[in-house]
């Protein structure tokens, strides 16, 4: 955390200096334009050359100051974004607030584990991991969290995350540039829609005319300036009129290009900055180098192509100014040339555009995992295997406060399935979620909350906390049965890591017990690895029939100084202590 405080203090000083410089340039810019106006006025009044020279120099000075002002303005935005990044990390690590988007829009109640394990929403895994600032980055991170990758995929991600963990300066710079884009799903979608919209080229005669007309106009203009011939002056008027008629024939199409391109000039320029950051960095991991290679297109970097697109749209905006449109199009058919180049850009680059933007998303998702690893130096990368071995030492929930979380050692070898007992509040559900969350993290190439970990990455299937679907007239019990059917169907296809918490709550105790036992038998018959939590002691007797596969584990509660004491430590065997009666007596319920 010290580095964030140090960077914050440094950035505050830098920003203060930058703001002073920015204010000074603003004052000088004002002085320059006022001086230009005065010099120009006195030149008109007195026709003295010194005032003409002064007006010219002050105008040039104003242009230079404008460029410096724009540059400082952008630098200030980047510095402010960097300051926000470090302030957010401090607030997060000091448990003051969670200033990151929670991804609730990606929640899926029908997903095998997303809702049960709090992958999205307030205080979710996504919110704790998320350091993305672009829409595509957020989308890529959400997709990453929804499925377990292959061993090769995970190893590539681990290698990339390890490399980015050490690049804190580059990570924060990239994130700052991403914040400045201020893009969203609409702007992202608009860019992709524009790239495939009406890409039909202009008629050949228009293309030919757009080249010939400016040459003719300039030739007639030069001839007129030399000869002052009235006929040539009239010819210039006719040429302007003809050009505007040709422009009018394609005005609707030009306007359609503009109508389907809200903020494309700005967003494409910001995307080009992000791509340039990736292109210019030196990477060693295979994944990051492969992503970098995707940005070389037709002998040029993707950032250059996007910068050209931004410039074309900026130029195309002249059509919105009537006087400028008449001047530029009447003489050189300016917007016809821009339209032609936009169509050519689409033809040449549109099919690669989405791939370029996805590289930004991939990098942002890796940055999120790298930031998570950096903030949790005591977490480890799991060792991977393909032998169905899953072991954790000091396993805990990564979202719990580091000062209070309790680690447990758990091994699914030789027995592959655990029957877990314990009273309410003893830690069963938190332990199951710890297992689930760390299996998800293992499957995406992240560090896990353990001191040692060996994992065979498997699909994660969970039935822990289902939601009544009132809109579908569906009860909790029926929703649970559907989830169990979903789990069984998935197990028919391949082995998986299964977590079940107090299943079949919506039926009587005998039915619940018998149903739970049958579910356990079927799950282990499908070679599943995992755990089931239950309050029914008789379910634990199933281990007698399957001693090589099932094992009993428990969380105990003790009564210390006439109060309940939970140590949240996983033990062998079946829970013996009963806390419900004690607690009800203590509170006067019975």
- pLDDT tens for 318-347 read 556 677 778 888 888 888 988 899 989 999
375-384, 484-493, 575-584 — which is least confidently predicted?
Answer: 575-584
**Taking Cα atoms as reference points, which of 89, 82, 147, 90 lies closest to residue 114?**
147
- Please say if the pLDDT value at position 65 is more than 80: yes
Q: Do 453 and 392 form a contact (C-beta atoms < 8 A)?
A: yes
Higher pLDDT, 469 or 578: 578
Q: How far is CA 328 from CA 246, 253, 333, in A?
A: 13, 18, 6
Whole-number pLDDT of residue 468 = 45
For 431, phi and psi rounded to 5 degrees?
-65, -45
What is the mean predicted confidence (pLDDT) over 257-279? 86
Higher pLDDT, 154 or 477: 154
Residue with tokens 């210390």, as numbered in its chain: 560
Q: What 8-state DSSP symbol labels residue 472?
A: G
Q: Do 185 and 327 form a contact (C-beta atoms < 8 A)?
A: no
Higher pLDDT, 426 or 491: 491
Q: From CA 471, how far away is CA 370, in angstroms rounded?
A: 40
- pLDDT tens for 449-492 read 999 999 999 999 999 876 544 444 456 778 888 899 999 999 99
Sequence-separated (6 or more) residues with CB below 8 Å from residue 364: 131, 132, 133, 134, 136, 137, 138, 140, 141, 174, 175, 178
Q: Do 379 and 451 form a contact (C-beta atoms < 8 A)?
A: no
Whole-number pLDDT of residue 473 = 44
**Residue 586 falls in which region: left (phi positive, over 0), alpha (psi -120 to 50) or beta:** alpha
Whole-number pLDDT of residue 469 = 46
The residues with which 498 forms a beta bridge, in sequence order, are 461, 530
Read off the pLDDT band of 590 (50, 70, 90): low
Share of the chain above pLDDT 70, in %: 94
Burial (Cβ within 10 Å: 0-12, 13-18, ≥19) of residue 462: buried
Whole-number pLDDT of residue 234 = 86
Top mean pLDDT of 8-22, 45-59, 228-242 is at 8-22
Q: What 8-state DSSP symbol labels residue 480?
A: H
Report the SS3 class of residue 486. Answer: helix
A 10 A CB-CB count for 181 gives: 21
What is the mean predicted confidence (pLDDT) over 50-57? 88
> Beta strands 417-422 and 550-559: pairing type?
parallel
Read off the pLDDT band of 260 (50, 70, 90): low
Read off the pLDDT band of 583 (50, 70, 90): low
| Two structure tokens written together for 2 | 């010290």
> Beta strands 529-533 and 452-455: pairing type?
unpaired
Q: Do 130 and 141 form a contact (C-beta atoms < 8 A)?
A: yes
Q: Do 186 and 263 form a contact (C-beta atoms < 8 A)?
A: no
- pLDDT tens for 163-202 read 999 999 999 999 999 999 989 998 899 899 888 877 778 8
- Please say if the pLDDT value at position 569 is more than 50: yes
Read off the pLDDT band of 317 (50, 70, 90): low
Whole-number pLDDT of residue 545 = 93
Top mean pLDDT of 95-109, 257-271, 381-395 is at 381-395
Alpha helix (H) residue ranges in 47-150: 49-93, 125-129, 135-145
A 10 A CB-CB count for 47 gives: 9
**Taking Cα atoms as reference points, which of 377, 398, 468 lies closest to residue 119?**
398
| Two structure tokens written together for 439 | 């299996």
Q: Is the dihedral of CA 411, 414, 416, 418 positive or negative?
A: negative
Helix/strand/coil (H/E/C) assignment for every residue in 169-181: HHHHHHHHHHHHH
């Amino acid at each position: 955390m010290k580095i964030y405080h140090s960077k914050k203090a440094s950035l505050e000083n830098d920003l203060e200096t930058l703001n002073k410089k920015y204010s000074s340039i603003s004052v000088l810019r004002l002085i320059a334009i006022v001086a230009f106006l005065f010099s120009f006025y006195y030149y008109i009044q007195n026709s003295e050359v010194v005032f003409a020279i002064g007006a010219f120099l002050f105008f040039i000075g104003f242009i230079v100051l404008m460029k410096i002002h724009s540059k400082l303005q952008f630098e200030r935005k980047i510095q402010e974004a960097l300051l926000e990044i470090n302030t957010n990390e401090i607030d997060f690590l000091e448990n003051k607030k969670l200033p990151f988007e929670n991804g609730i829009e990606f929640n899926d109640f029908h997903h095998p584990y997303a809702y049960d394990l709090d992958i999205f929403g307030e205080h979710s895994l996504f919110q704790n991991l998320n350091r993305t600032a672009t829409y595509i980055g957020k989308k890529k991170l959400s997709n990453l969290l929804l499925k377990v990758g292959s061993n090769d995929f995970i190893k590539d991600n681990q290698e990339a995350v390890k490399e980015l963990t050490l690049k804190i300066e580059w990570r924060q710079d990239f994130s700052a540039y991403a914040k400045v884009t201020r893009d969203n799903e609409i702007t992202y979608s608009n860019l992709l829609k524009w790239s495939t919209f009406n890409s039909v080229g202009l008629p050949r005669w228009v293309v030919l005319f757009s080249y010939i007309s400016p040459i003719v106009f300039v030739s007639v203009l030069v001839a007129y300036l030399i000869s002052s011939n009235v006929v040539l002056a009239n010819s210039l008027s006719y040429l302007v009129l003809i050009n505007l008629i040709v422009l009018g024939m394609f005005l609707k199409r030009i306007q359609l290009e503009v109508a389907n391109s809200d903020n494309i000039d700005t967003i494409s320029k910001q995307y080009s900055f992000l791509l340039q950051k990736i292109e210019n960095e030196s990477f060693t991991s295979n994944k990051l180098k492969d992503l970098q290679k995707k940005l070389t297109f037709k002998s040029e970097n993707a950032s250059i192509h996007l910068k050209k697109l931004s410039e074309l749209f900026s130029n195309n905006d002249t059509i919105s100014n009537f006087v400028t449109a008449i001047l530029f199009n009447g003489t050189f058919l300016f917007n016809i040339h821009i339209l032609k180049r936009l169509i050519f850009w689409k033809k040449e680059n549109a099919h690669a555009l989405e791939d370029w933007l996805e590289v930004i998303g991939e990098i942002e998702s890796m940055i999120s995992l790298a930031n998570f690893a950096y903030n949790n130096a005591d977490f480890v990368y799991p060792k991977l295997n393909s032998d169905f071995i899953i072991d954790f030492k000091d396993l805990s929930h990564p979202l719990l406060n580091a000062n209070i979380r309790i680690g447990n050692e758990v091994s699914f070898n030789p027995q592959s399935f655990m029957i877990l007992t314990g009273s309410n509040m003893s830690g069963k559900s938190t332990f199951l979620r710890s297992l689930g969350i760390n299996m998800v993290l293992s499957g995406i190439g992240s560090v896990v909350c353990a001191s040692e970990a060996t994992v065979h990455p498997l699909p994660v299937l969970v039935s822990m906390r289902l939601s009544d679907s009132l809109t579908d007239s569906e009860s909790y019990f029926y929703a649970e049965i559907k989830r169990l059917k979903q789990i069984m169907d998935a197990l028919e296809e391949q082995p998986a890591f299964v977590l079940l918490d107090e299943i079949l709550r919506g039926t009587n105790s005998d039915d619940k017990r018998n149903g739970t036992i049958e579910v356990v038998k079927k799950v282990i018959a499908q070679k599943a690895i995992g755990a089931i939590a239950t309050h029914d002691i008789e379910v634990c007797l199933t281990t007698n029939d399957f001693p090589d596969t099932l094992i009993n584990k428990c969380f105990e509660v003790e009564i210390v100084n006439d109060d309940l004491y939970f140590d949240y430590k996983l033990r062998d065997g079946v829970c013996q202590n009963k806390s419900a009666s004690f607690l009800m007596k203590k509170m006067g319920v019975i």
